[in-house]
Structure 1
Amino acid sequence: MPIDPNVSYTVLRASSVHEHEIEIKKSRFLALLKRVDSEDGARDFIACTKAQYRDARHHCSAFLLGPTRETGRTSDDGEPSGTAGMPMMQTLTSHKSPTQREQELEGDLSDICAVVVRWFGGVKLGAGGLVRAYSGAVAEALETAPLKTRMRSRSLSVRLDHSDAGRIEDDVRTAGFTVLPTSYEADAAVLTLAVPDRETDVQEALDTVTSLTAGNYTPELGGVDWHDIPSL
């Protein structure tokens, strides 16, 4: 099922910090990427990184927040103005997933904080060299970072007999819908779908579930929330 950019954006998988290190003229650049959901969360990550790598000379950073990337901040942390934080930000905003590249779509990465830690190697890189180093460290880290799609979803649930639940869940997945963890109660299994929050998609999901259950079960619409789904 194609995802409309109006109801989705790309995020890092919510897990441990993703790291990647490069070396240029004896200077080491360690890029660290983390999923964040607030400015406080981003600043906490930056502060923790500075404390962990206090022996480094610079801890430059950039972070983006929100479905429309409405919040963004950068820091050069002592490097010449414009040579670190802003190139890192431009790398974040321009990054595209493999699917986005293939389909020539715009990048939409957000809810991410990048910190690049630099240990000075004794050789000055110049402004251009610093821009390439900081942007390159983040770009290479993103190439191997685990990504997901975060989708604004309408929930659709249906109460099923335990004997039918496994088969119907498989059929729904095969039809291309995102299925959230099934809840097993004493008298029923509650199958829940996360459907893109658009009228056409919601109606399609209702019709599909009704068809797959041969009309024996009635799906019910729930509220709207954001959910992570596997990247396409």
Structure 2
Amino acid sequence: MEKEDDSRAGTYTTIANGPDVRHELEIRRSRFITVLRRSPDEETARSLVSDLRREFHDARHHCSAFVIGPDRMIQRSSDDGEPSGTAGIPMLEALIKRETLPKTADLSDVSAVVVRYFGGILLGAGGLVRAYSESVSAALDLAPMVQRRRLRLCAVEVPHADAGRLENELRSAGYVMAETGYEAGHAVLRLALADDSVTISEAHARLASLTAGRLELRPQGTEWVDIAR
């Protein structure tokens, strides 16, 4: 579980967990192969660059950019041999200026690498900026998005025989379920709730209704949870 975050950002958008997103553009004979990866930390982001250097070992450039964290405070970019400012920064701007909702640019936990095979025709500084920016934007068009929301976690210990039924009833009631734990004598169901007293009181009441008052929720701090858009 993540520690509580004093950032004022309670939600942000990222790409869904899953295979890397890939897209290729050809511009004046140069190939621009863009790969996006969900990256919750710098190690994961930098591993994408390493992976693609091995895969496309004969390419001239492996330019990169990433933005990480609910407050988007970690931002890095690299031109990797392209003229200064023509690759990494346009890529980073394509990430941080991406509107995930109208007038909302909150994309984070994403790394992008553009592998370029030079086609023999110089594009000029302006042409490179456009090419790298458009490459990342086109890949983002293909990427499934999810909202990350910081929620209050509450847990309830349930006999194994009742865990599946109770989890289904809570999901049917609209509750977001975090990871379920299994111990020797019981299962631990975890609900991810909006962090306000009304919602938490309502969850206590719903659980009491579903279990005839036999089970109670206990607080477990907060966690960032993926919410389908």
TM-score of Structure 1 vs Structure 2, range by shorter chain: 0.7 to 0.9
Give the CA deviation at 1:84: 1.3
Aligned length: 222
1:210/1:219 contact within 8 Å kept: no
Report what 2:83 is aligned to.
80
The reply to whether residue 56 of structure 1 matches residue 59 of structure 2 is: yes
Which 10-residue stretch deviates more, 159-168 or 10-19? 159-168
Give the CA deviation at 1:117: 0.6
Long gaps (5+) in structure 1? none
**Where in structure 2 are the equivalents of 1:33-72 lying within 5 Å?**
33-72=36-75
Give the CA deviation at 1:153: 2.6
Give the CA deviation at 1:184: 4.5
The reply to whether residue 131 of structure 1 matches residue 134 of structure 2 is: no
Seen in structure 2, the aligned counterparts of structure 1 residues 129 and 207 have a Cα distance that, compared at 3 Å, is farther
2:66/2:76 contact within 8 Å kept: yes
Q: What letter is aligned with 1:231?
A: A
Q: What letter is aligned with 1:166?
A: G
- The SS at the match of 1:6 is coil
Seen in structure 2, the aligned counterparts of structure 1 residues 212 and 42 have a Cα distance that, compared at 3 Å, is same
1:7/1:196 contact within 8 Å kept: no
Give the CA deviation at 1:138: 0.9
Q: Select which of 154, 157, 160 maps to 1:159.
A: 157
CA distance in 1, matches of 2:180, 2:74: 35
CA distance in 1, matches of 2:98, 2:197: 30
Q: Select which of 89, 94, 113 maps to 1:91.
A: 94
Post-superposition Cα deviations, 1:76-134, rounded to whole Å, max 9, x if no partner, equal 1222222211111111112234xx2xxx3512211111110111111222222222211
CA distance in 2, matches of 1:45, 1:51: 10
2:39/2:45 contact within 8 Å kept: yes
CA distance in 2, matches of 1:114, 1:125: 21
TM-score normalised by structure 1 residue count: 0.83
Long gaps (5+) in structure 2? 1-7
Give the CA deviation at 1:23: 0.9
Give the CA deviation at 1:172: 1.4
2:149/2:227 contact within 8 Å kept: no
Give the CA deviation at 1:162: 4.5
Q: What letter is aligned with 2:57?
A: R
